[in-house]
Amino acid sequence: MTKELLRMEEITKIYPNGFIANRNVTFSVNENEIHALVGENGAGKTTLMKILFGMENCQTGKIYISGEEVHITSPLDAIAKGIGMVHQHFMQVPNLTVAENVVLGMEPGRGPVFDRKQALVMTQGISNKYNLGVDCNHMIRDLTVGQKQKVELLKALSRGCKVLILDEPTAVLTPQETRELFVQLKRLRDQGYGIIFISHKLDEVMELCDRVTVLRHGKVTGNGNIADLDTIKLSKMMVEREVSLKIEKEKAQPKECILKIEKLNYIDDFGKRTIDELSFTVRAGEVVGIAGVEGNGQTELSEIIAGLLQRTSGKIILNNQETAGKTIMQIRQMGMAHISEDRMKFGIANNLSIQDNIAAIYLAGNRFRTGPFLKMKELNKFVDECINKFEVACIDGNENIKFLSGGNIQKVIVAREFSGDANFIIANQPTRGIDIGTADLIRRLLVRASREKNCAILLISSDLTELTEVSDRILVMKSGKIVAQFKDAKNVSDDTLGEYMLGVRRMAVEEMGGL
């Protein structure tokens, strides 16, 4: 008989602003099971897991672990009760070793003296036991993203968890790293663990998981065995309509050069050259995708183009004007829109309302202003249209943006950036953490902007399917350089991209052709 490791029963969570995040949610995880938790942004997935991990309280409901009712008051309490969590954003100290990171908070030793040798022996033993392949003597700063994720797994396992929560674990992994992770998760499942897998990638849910629970508007709207479903049925359960994962688009007809990068270099504060003599162009009417393992210069590239980071050397020409010395607002007025990778840091002001965040980039112009006076009626109408078009889950435009889920914040940003007159759009991870329905809308908006408005689009994404579906050509970045170009994005496989991203293969300059 299957043993139930975890049961959350009739969980209800209501925030102070009246938003109901969870409505009588019942969710369970069995031994030897990988259970997917899916749903649109704002559906209540993150809140439910925060309650389980002791980061939030609920108004009503009960939690049972191995049949015994428990009260979880903090993450430390959750860990003590056998709940582990691998967060989407790793919580690690770069200048410490793997072993030192793993034992933080439970350091072995006698009194105040830390026993490094014992820490290394203990952590390496756990890594070997679960075949994680992690050298626990390495510094965190020297690891790849995939290896850092293994460290998070190691941290959870070293604390004796039996239920493991993974929040969007493949968001920044290559196909090869994803397959390796799946092998490890299946191995843990077969050893008796219960695993909660949160993802918007339905093909991965279908490949990896045994059961699925769907949340919509805070309620459970469906659950069942994966064997009885397919991606079409599952997407319909999530968003009440069928969503195609394929994007049909006309062949690009690139026109004049909108963005030109010439011999761009950036050396960071630690003396590391993260962008190295980078040169390429983006033309009107095309989508240029940038692929690369996280940490190979993509973030710095987008921030330099947007004016958020100062280049070390090189030229950036936007609409025939050099951007050097320009402010962020001046670059926007030159024709740029920007969907930032770090939405909380660069995309919003989290102490302002939704309306203020949408209006912010337009206040320097005359769209909603007559002299010193705002056209409030027009502004209110515009904000309402943005909220309705993107189905932002909120009370109204006056609500503080910090009360929205991460996905709904991204909807606000995308609505704002697509509603202007820019002819160049940088979209950096535009659908990360976004539900399948909204992701489909954003991808189609990018294609439509390139085809119908003749915009030049620079798409930076760790989702390789997104890159091949939306882009016309793809550039691969490694160590701050372009190491490959694929002029027909539709016909390159994820595995091939992954090999160039990892450095297994490299394309000769003459093979790439003009960038």
pLDDT in tens, 468-491: 999 999 999 999 999 999 999 999
In-domain check, residue 341 = no
Classify residue 250 by its DSSP letter: P
Which whole number is the average pLDDT over 407-434?
A: 90
Which whole number is the average pLDDT over 4-19?
A: 92
Amino acid at 98: V
> Tokens standing for 247?
């994007």
Give the whole-number percent of the chain exceeding pLDDT 90. 58
Amino acid at 342: D
Q: Tell me, yes or no, whether 433 and 415 share the same domain.
A: no
Which whole number is the average pLDDT over 286-314?
A: 95
CA gap 427, 471 in Å, rounded: 12
pLDDT reading at 296 higher than 80: yes
At which of 364, 389, 420 does a domain end? 420
pLDDT number for residue 1: 65
pLDDT number for residue 467: 95
User: Judging by DSSP bridges, how do beta strands 273-283 and 424-428 pair with one another?
Assistant: unpaired
CB 434 within 8 A of CB 442: yes
pLDDT number for residue 184: 93
Q: Tell me, yes or no, whether 25 and 105 share the same domain.
A: yes
**CA of 511: how far to CAs of 46, 122, 165, 260, 500, in Å?**
45, 49, 44, 21, 14
Classify residue 54 by its DSSP letter: T
In-domain check, residue 198 = yes
Mean pLDDT of the chain: 90
Of 44-48, 298-302, 361-365, which gets the smallest average pLDDT? 361-365
Helix axes 145-158, 116-129, angle to 10 degrees: 100
28 beta partners = 7
In-domain check, residue 244 = no
Q: pLDDT tens digit string along 24-38? A: 999 999 999 999 999
In-domain check, residue 449 = yes
Phi, psi values for residue 77, rounded to 5°: -65, -40
Supply the CATH number for residue 203's domain: 3.40.50.300
Q: How confident is the model at residue 396 (pLDDT cuts 50, 70, 90)?
A: confident
Q: How confident is the model at residue 51 (pLDDT cuts 50, 70, 90)?
A: very high
Q: Tell me, yes or no, whether 294 and 177 share the same domain.
A: no
pLDDT number for residue 88: 73
Q: Tell me, yes or no, whether 275 and 141 share the same domain.
A: no
pLDDT reading at 347 higher than 80: yes
pLDDT number for residue 275: 96
In-domain check, residue 81 = yes
pLDDT reading at 110 higher than 80: no
pLDDT reading at 243 higher than 70: no
Q: Tell me, yes or no, whether 412 and 429 share the same domain.
A: no
375 beta partners = none
CB 38 within 8 A of CB 434: no
Q: Tell me, yes or no, whether 195 and 144 share the same domain.
A: yes
Q: Tell me, yes or no, whether 185 and 65 share the same domain.
A: yes
Q: pLDDT tens digit string along 196-220? A: 999 888 889 999 999 999 998 899 9
In-domain check, residue 208 = yes
Which whole number is the average pLDDT over 359-388?
A: 83
Nearest C-alpha neighbor of 98 from the set 142, 129, 130? 142
Q: pLDDT tens digit string along 121-170? A: 999 999 998 888 889 999 998 888 888 889 999 999 999 999 999 988 88
pLDDT number for residue 143: 86
Q: How confident is the model at residue 241 (pLDDT cuts 50, 70, 90)?
A: low
CA 452 to the chain's CA centroid: 28
Q: Tell me, yes or no, whether 427 and 408 share the same domain.
A: no
Q: Tell me, yes or no, whether 176 and 200 share the same domain.
A: yes
Q: Tell me, yes or no, whether 97 and 15 share the same domain.
A: yes
Domain count of the fold of the chain: 3
Which residues fall within 8 angstroms of residue 381, CB to CB, at 6 or more apart? Answer: none
pTM for the model stands at 0.74
Range among 170-184, 288-302, 378-392, 397-411 with highest mean pLDDT value: 288-302
pLDDT reading at 452 higher than 70: yes
261 beta partners = 280, 316
At which of 420, 445, 465 does a domain end? 420
**CA of 44: how far to CAs of 164, 218, 281, in Å?**
18, 5, 41
Nearest C-alpha neighbor of 301 from the set 268, 269, 256, 326? 268
CA gap 89, 104 in Å, rounded: 17
Can you give the residue range of the structural domain that contains 211?
A: 4-238
pLDDT number for residue 233: 83
Q: Which residue has the tokens 């209540």?
A: 44
CA gap 105, 24 in Å, rounded: 35
Of 269-283, 333-347, 394-408, which gets the smallest average pLDDT? 394-408
CA gap 257, 307 in Å, rounded: 20
CA gap 57, 7 in Å, rounded: 16
In-domain check, residue 364 = yes
Give the whole-number percent of the chain exceeding pLDDT 70. 97
pLDDT number for residue 42: 76
CB-hemisphere CA count at 13 Å for 288? 24
pLDDT number for residue 132: 87
Classify residue 478 by its DSSP letter: E
At which of 215, 238, 261 does a domain end? 238
Which of 360 and 76 is assigned the larger pLDDT? Answer: 76
Q: How confident is the model at residue 299 (pLDDT cuts 50, 70, 90)?
A: very high
CA gap 83, 164 in Å, rounded: 6
**CA of 457: how far to CAs of 92, 202, 252, in Å?**
34, 26, 12
Q: Tell me, yes or no, whether 113 and 19 share the same domain.
A: yes
Q: What angle do CA 372, 375, 381 make, to 5 degrees?
A: 155
pLDDT reading at 240 higher than 70: no
Q: Tell me, yes or no, whether 151 and 86 share the same domain.
A: yes
In-domain check, residue 247 = no
